[in-house]
Amino acid sequence: MIAGVPPSVAATLVGLRGRDELGLRALLEAQQDPASPEYRRWLTPREFGRRFGASPRDLKSVERWLRADGCRIKRSAGRQQVECVGGQPSVLPTALAPLVEDVIDLDAPAELEHKLDVSSLRPSSLAPNGDFFFAPQEYVGFYGFAGLQAAGINGTGQRIGIVGTVPVDPADVALFRTHYGLPALDLEQVGTPGSNVDENDLLEAILDVTWSGTVAPGAAVTLSITSGTVVDAITYLVNRSDVSILSLSLSPVPNKRNRPLIRQSLTLFKQAASQGQTVLIASGDFGPLAIVSPKLKRGVDPYAQSPFVTGVGGTTPSSSSPADAFTYGSEVVWQDGNEASGGGRSRLARPKWQKGLGGNKRSVPDVSLAAAAVYPIPRNGAVVCCVGGTSAAAPAWAGLVAMLNQQNGTRAGLLNPKLYELGKAQAKGGTVVFHDIIEGSNTTTQAKGFPAKPGYDLATGWGSPNVPALFAAY
């Protein structure tokens, strides 16, 4: 993705076949093994490209074809994608077919799923129907971030990458931070939006930027703006060496047309894992359904199913008393009519860290956080209430990881092997690092889902974080 290119300029992303897939898988396992000399020895994007991306010869062959068709070339550091700007690639030559995985028109926006729940927005002092909601200080108190923040663990030195479809107004973000006594946000916005954006696109971006930075007020945030396919924005962030965490609350609807977008994104998530980048994906808002239109189809979010990301489901929180939102009370599975925490089993093979939890397929979600409409956001010069959905849970977890990285002095990388180790230990009577959600289900008005139960479940994963205990265990 090239910042500042107007939407009228044609752009095409060419996904390349990499090298040494077996070597990459071995490295990814070794990076998670404390006994290995490769443990947490993360690659840079350029190192990844030299070891596992397309060969220099293959790159030159593909780029020669694109330049002949009038393209300006943007090569990813990881050598997994080449972007053509300003030209129109001809039909892929037969000789190049073994080198190319996908050719994606970035000017043909995908149908994206918004994992966003919007209540009637009004001033935050007047929450709809007097419903429960969080001010930032209450949120960090509720989940136990406050003590860490008071000790200076606030995400300093970390950069969170957010995928969005429209830029946010920095004045609104500044208003929110000032309103709640937070320091100014180091916000960077890169890319150019497409032409078909709406209010939900803007609310999505505002929510993700605002609340990732609320949990980790010392972290920097980069909003990578996609013209509508998402994969271009992911490519940009994964190939930024200073981005340590990615949060995605958008993904293409899992249909035939979008398969190339999904395939390229899943490839990028492996690269991210090798670089120590933690990827948080909202698990979706349709309960056990992957698709609701044009017809219902059971399944999981196409991005959250990756074994190289952490899928984040949703809960509905309650405080210990109506007047005290600072103190943890309880949580149940987030469910609101035809919306609920996304979860179920994918078609991908079960990772070894999910062994013993039932089934032989990758299960989603891994963890959760509040997804009910309890998140105030800035809009049009005022702080309004309230937005939710797993869209909110994922960036909040991104803020958590920024704090975790700062505490440990290194990138956490793929969280799941450690999260599942801790969750299984808790289930056997060990340290309580998760609030185990045991009430509710992700059944919706459209489909029967999965109940919450002790330990891991297909509605909330291991549950929400007991932050002080989780950070101590890490």
For 241-269, the pLDDT digits (tens) are 999 999 999 999 999 999 999 999 999 99
Percent of the chain scoring above 90 in pLDDT: 86
Q: What is the pLDDT of residue 141?
A: 94
pLDDT over 70 percentage in the chain: 96
Per the model's pLDDT, the better-predicted residue between 142 and 124 turns out to be 142
Contact 189, 223 (CB under 8 A): yes
CA distances (Å), origin 327, targets 134, 253, 345, 364, 370: 11, 38, 34, 28, 14
b vs e for 253-264, b when ≥16 Cβ sit within 10 Å of the residue's Cβ? bbeeebebbbbb
The token duo for 399 is 């803020």
Residue 4 has pLDDT above 50, yes or no: no
- Residue pLDDT, tens place only, 144-188: 999 999 999 999 999 999 999 999 999 999 999 999 999 999 999
- Exposed/middle/buried for 348, CB within 10 Å: 0-12, 13-18, 19+? middle
Q: Please give the Cα distance from 175 to 188 (Å, whole number).
A: 17
pLDDT in tens, 97-130: 999 999 999 988 888 888 888 877 888 777 666 6
Name residues whose C-beta falls within 8 Å of residue 12's C-beta, 6 or more positions apart in sequence: 71, 83, 84, 87, 88, 89, 103, 104, 105, 106
pLDDT digits (tens, 9 = 90+) for 21-65: 999 999 999 999 999 999 999 999 999 999 999 999 999 999 999
Domains and CATH numbers, the chain: 11-105 (no CATH), 112-473 (3.40.50.200)
Beta-carbon neighbour count of residue 316 at 10 Å? 22
Kindly tell me if the per-residue pLDDT of 7 is higher than 70.
Answer: no
Over residues 339-346, the mean pLDDT reads 97
Average pLDDT over residues 297-308: 97
Give the CB-side neighbour count of residue 450, counting CA atoms within 13 A. Answer: 26
Distance separating alpha carbons of residues 146 and 140, to the nearest angstrom: 5
* Res 301: pLDDT: 97
Residue 263: per-residue pLDDT: 97
- Give me the DSSP letters along 190-256: EE---S---HHHHHHHHHHHHHHHHHSTTSEEEEEE-SSSSHHHHHHHHT-TT--EEEE-EEE-SSG
Each residue of 434-470: pLDDT tens digit? 999 999 999 999 999 999 999 999 999 999 999 999 9
- Residue 362, classed as helix, strand or coil, is strand
